[in-house]
Amino acid sequence: MPEPVIFERSTSGRRGYSLPATTVPEVMLDLALQRDDLNLPELSELDVVRHYTRLSQENRAIDTTFYPLGSCTMKYNPKVNEEVAALRGVRRIHPYTPGTEVQGALHVMYELQHILAQLAGLDAVSLLPAAGAHGELTGMLVIRAHHEHRGDVERLNVLVADSAHGTNPATAVMAGYTVRSVQSDARGNVDLVELRQLVGPDTAGMMLTNPNTLGLFDENIQEICDIVHEAGGLMYGDGANMNALAGIAKPGDLGFDVLHFNLHKTFSTPHGGGGPGAGPIAVRDYLASYLPDPIIRAEPNENGKFFALATPENTIGKVRSLWGNYAVLARAYTYLRHHGAEGLRANSTHAVLNANYLGSLLKACYELRYDRPCMHEFVLSGSRQKRHGVRTVDIAKRLMDFGFHPPTIYFPLIVEESMLIEPTESESKQTLDEFADAMLAIAQEAETAPETIKRAPNETRLRRLDETTAARQPDLAYSRESHDPQEN
Ligand SMILES: *Cc1c(COP(=O)(O)O)cnc(C)c1O
């Protein structure tokens, strides 16, 4: 059994600092500014190091564990990215430094704009959005600006597939639109009959993820884009999950007009702790003038090229301070240059192969809801296990006893007891086999010893937490009283 948790380690009189002897005369501070009633923990430096190192070891992270969290693309984050982000010229650059003195940084961003435009099959890029959801909002505001600029103000609806990530409908609403949800058909594609019924002169556009959050490539993607375009709407591509397409297919060629990337997913900058991230958008040429301010332009001069910040003519304005999350951009740029076009294609191919391999092993014991070749991820349903009283959340908790991070659960919403599994290209066949063995052992247990699963996790320091309260009322400030040893 794990040791009991002792969170409170403060011991009266311990100190975690030592100041050098002063070389200037001592001055007495105003007594009114001095306090001796601060409720702070008293710890030595070693106590603090051990406390945080221990906490970090209790965490499940991509650097310690297989992490198949579907839709989140928890691939390996190569350490060379970190080395580049830590270079003095990257880390210490001040955002108010005049452009003439940071030509290198502007050059990196200019090239990144160019590479992302190529991968998207689109023409112009803004690096500013700080996350995928922020890219969505920026992209939808660009679409709105385009319609308004043409005086086309009757378009009030945005179509969103029912398999979409929750950020899509939220984005459409924040951009001022009404959401019209479009069903998926039995093969996991957008239902074309319903799409035709919903589309019309009031359609501003459609937000679609392809491959969608079922891990499936929509077999009618070009027809979908044609239907929306013929009605005068634009196609917004949620490109958070480009891990199956990058280097293989360009969303612009499929018919998308605007696309966001999640650099922190596909292009491997660390995420999972809530940021920072980056969600650049790419758009077709006729939308470029609406991009947020600033973009990076190259102007030829006598020394070659000069890189400058520029304001697009009909810009929607500022969406973020300064230049975006530059350290994330530098990491993604490193990743892209390190792999090159061939490397990206190989990564996407392996990501798809790994997902199909793992799906083929797991469908022996779990219901594979859409049994056709998947892209970078696939959806299982825990419906068979539910008959034994074991729910998907129980399976997820039990996986932690086997040393794995659970997959995404209860998303997508349209599959009962869903598990969305994304192995990524980083993992070896051996790891995938180990994970499959654990999943198959749990399926066995569901029939023979369901109570073991329902009690899980049994091997972690804390057991089942009240996740809702933890998310809604987080207890983040130190207070001696609130950190009494947990009973669990
Ligand atoms: C992750 C994800 C998003 C949102 O990205 P954030 O960076 O978390 O805001 C949007 N759509 C899909 C399909 C995603 O997987």
Residue 485 pLDDT more than 60? no
Closest to 74 measured CA to CA, from 250, 245, 240, 281: 240
- Identify the residue whose C-alpha is closest to ligand 1 atom 2: 240
Instruction: Calculate mean pLDDT across residues 118-137.
Output: 98
Instruction: Calculate mean pLDDT across residues 11-32.
Output: 88
Residues 6+ away with beta carbon under 8 Å from 370: 187, 188, 214, 216, 378, 379
How confident is the model at residue 38, as a pLDDT?
A: 79
Q: Could you give the CA distance from residue 25 to residue 281 in angstroms, rounded to a whole number?
A: 57
User: 470 or 287, which is more confident?
Assistant: 287
What residue ranges do the domains of the chain occupy? Answer: 6-58, 80-339, 345-472
User: For the segment 134-143, what is each residue's pLDDT rounded down to a tens digit?
Assistant: 999 999 999 9
Instruction: Calculate mean pLDDT across residues 254-266.
Output: 97
C-beta 412 within 6 A of ligand 1: no
CATH top class, domain 80-339: alpha beta
Rounded (to 5) percent helix, strand, coil in the chain: 40, 10, 50
- DSSP designation for 316: -
Q: Could you give the CA distance from residue 384 to residue 22 in angstroms, rounded to a whole number?
A: 71
Distances, alpha carbon 294 to alpha carbons 100, 251, 274, 286, in Å: 16, 24, 25, 17
Residue 296 pLDDT more than 50? yes
| Banded model confidence at residue 481, pLDDT cuts 50, 70, 90 | low
Looking from the CA of residue 264, the nearest atom of ligand 1 is 7
C-beta 262 within 6 A of ligand 1: yes
How confident is the model at residue 476, as a pLDDT?
A: 82
Which strand ranges, in their side-by-side order, compose the sheet holding 203-208? 124-126, 281-283, 258-261, 234-239, 203-208, 157-161, 178-182
Residue 6 pLDDT more than 70? no
Looking from the CA of residue 73, the nearest atom of ligand 1 is 15
Instruction: Calculate mean pLDDT across residues 275-288.
Output: 95
How confident is the model at residue 125, as a pLDDT?
A: 98
Residue 160 pLDDT more than 80? yes
Instruction: Fold for 345-472, please state it.
Output: Aspartate Aminotransferase, domain 1 (3.90.1150)
Residue 115 pLDDT more than 90? yes
- Mean pLDDT rounded to a whole number for the chain: 93
Is-contact 355 422, C-beta < 8 A? yes
The 3-state DSSP class for residue 460 equals: coil
Closest to 287 measured CA to CA, from 154, 165, 117: 117
Q: Could you give the CA distance from residue 313 to residue 295 in angstroms, rounded to a whole number?
A: 11
Looking from the CA of residue 133, the nearest atom of ligand 1 is 9
Looking from the CA of residue 209, the nearest atom of ligand 1 is 13
Distance from the alpha carbon of residue 165 to the mean position of ligand 1, in angstroms: 7
Is-contact 333 112, C-beta < 8 A? yes
Residue 104 pLDDT more than 70? yes
DSSP assignment of 73-105 equals: ------HHHHHHHTSHHHHS--TTS-GGG-HHH
Instruction: Calculate mean pLDDT across residues 358-383.
Output: 96
DSSP assignment of 13-46 equals: T--S--PPPPSS---PPPGGG--S--------HH
| Banded model confidence at residue 297, pLDDT cuts 50, 70, 90 | very high
Distances, alpha carbon 153 to alpha carbons 380, 383, 406, in Å: 42, 46, 46
Closest to 117 measured CA to CA, from 218, 320, 253: 253
**Considering the entire predicted model, what is its pTM?**
0.91
Residue type present at position 315: T
Instruction: Calculate mean pLDDT across residues 337-352.
Output: 97
Residue 4 pLDDT more than 70? no
How confident is the model at residue 488, as a pLDDT?
A: 39
User: For the segment 176-233, what is each residue's pLDDT rounded down to a tens digit?
Assistant: 999 999 999 999 999 999 999 999 999 999 999 999 999 999 999 999 999 999 999 9
How confident is the model at residue 62, as a pLDDT?
A: 92
Residues 6+ away with beta carbon under 8 Å from 318: 292, 293
| Cis-peptide into 407, omega within 30 deg | no
Residue 461 pLDDT more than 90? no
- Identify the residue whose C-alpha is closest to ligand 1 atom 14: 240
Residues 6+ away with beta carbon under 8 Å from 476: none
- Identify the residue whose C-alpha is closest to ligand 1 atom 7: 132
Distance from the alpha carbon of residue 132 to the mean position of ligand 1, in angstroms: 5
C-beta 203 within 6 A of ligand 1: no
- Identify the residue whose C-alpha is closest to ligand 1 atom 6: 132
Q: In which region does residue 361 sit, left (phi positive, over 0), alpha (psi from -120 to 50) or beta (all else)?
A: alpha
How confident is the model at residue 487, as a pLDDT?
A: 41
